[in-house]
Structure formats: C-alpha cells, structure tokens
Structure 1
C-alpha cells in the first residue's frame, strides 16, 4: 500500500497560518527525511535548535487506497508562499464507533490536530518545548490549543 507524507508548515507571524505539502517518499527515503524534503529543508536541518519537525498522525484514505503520515514543521522555511489562517478546531471522525475513519478529512482539521499534538509535546517534552520557544511567535499562540494527541470528544457541558 502506498504511503504519502503530508507536511503542515506553520508560521506564527503576524498571525497563525499554515500551508500543506504532500508527496511520496523517494525510493529508500524514510518518512522523516521525506517530510524535510517536502518542507524544502536540507537533511541536516533536523539538527537546528529552532526547528520543530514531528509526526503528528496517520490516516487511511479510501479514495486512492493509501496511508498518509502527517508531520508538523515550524517555522515554515518559506513564509512568502500562500497560506491559510488556522481557524476553528474541527475534529474529523467517522459516522459510528464501528467505522471510525471519516470519509474525508479537511486540511484545516489536519492543521488543528497537528497544533493540538504540538501543544501536547510542548507541555510534555522539554526538547520540543525549547524548540517551540525559539520559533518566532509560536509560543504566544500555543495556549489557544488544548494539548492532546487524539482529541477527546465532549458529549456534554
């Protein structure tokens, strides 16, 4: 089954925004390296203290049967490229407990999930916390995202 790497590239200046990049790993390329390449970063960028690159989720896409591995990258190495503001914190979910995979996942839902996951890491991983602190403007927006790795659904008040 094919694997696709999807990258949510974040920028926090002047507002929290994101853009997406997707592609398949090259032959012999590991997904982490594919995420760096798709972000437009050199392989040695992973050693930068002011850079966050982290796998945040995976999902199965039924339309073209494949597994999508999602990474968050902050900061976006090319903030001049078109982006979308992060708005809302939608949750992608299936129709029932027996069918948890949604038919379709919107880019905004993927970005919101990546930010919740990053907030979780910022709260629980000192290495990520230090890196997030070095990304211009990112620390200021992180409190607006509830730290979570797999969003809990609230059914009541």
Structure 2
C-alpha cells in the first residue's frame, strides 16, 4: 500500500491571492502582446505560431490562478474545437482563393490593391494564431482531465 494520496484525495488547486491578483493584472497585457506579435508577423519577428503560444499562456495562467475547472467551464471543449475548425477553414479559404484568382496556392500577391498582400498575410497569421492558441489550451485541459482518472496506477 502506497502513502501517496489517490487522485480523488489529491488537491489540484490551491487558492493564492498573490497569484490571482498578479494574473488579473498581467493577463490583459500578455493577451495584447500576443495579438501584437500575430499582427506584426509580416513585418518583423513573430507571427501566428508565436502569437498563438503567447495568447495560450493567458489561458494557462488563468487555469493555474483560478483552477482549471472554471476555465474548462468558461471556454468549453466545443468552443476550442470550433475555433480550430474555423481557423483551418478560413486559412484554406484564403489560400484557395488565390488559386481561383489565377495564382499559386497562398500566392497573396494576386489580391492586388494597396497593401493587399500585407493584410492578407496578417489575416492568415491571425487564423494560425487562433488555431495554435486553441490547440494548446485544449491540450492543457485534456491533460488535466487525464490526471483526474485513477486508471489503477496508484497501487
């Protein structure tokens, strides 16, 4: 018999006013920085993947500060899946529309107009960021759901 507590006895969340207060203050700035990185990926270092990871850290901070269960209830798995599916669909729509306009796949120069390729790249980066942020948040929630099952490993 092991002295380790079973998963039903284990406390997965400890309330800390310092952590909760810090997350309340820092989260909007981190989220804004993640969007900044996404939108400026066409002009400087960064892009959809990096910005999506930064935005996902906001969800992870909220989960650590306030508990994963409230974050799971607030966001929900269906919303995360819908964001991933919507992001992939929108990405494919933009990328395929370049073929319909006579260019190659993702040849955004066929859109023409003033700064059209820059704006289309930023839109694509935003879709990629949404996909990455939703995937990381979903993995975080799924990993927590896996820790709550006993699975017979505590022997």
TM-score by length of 2: 0.28
Bigger helix fraction: 2
Computing the radius of gyration over CA atoms, which structure comes out larger, 1 or 2? 2
Bigger strand fraction: 1
Q: Compare relative contact order (CA 8 Å, sep 6+) and give the higher one, 1 or 2.
A: 2
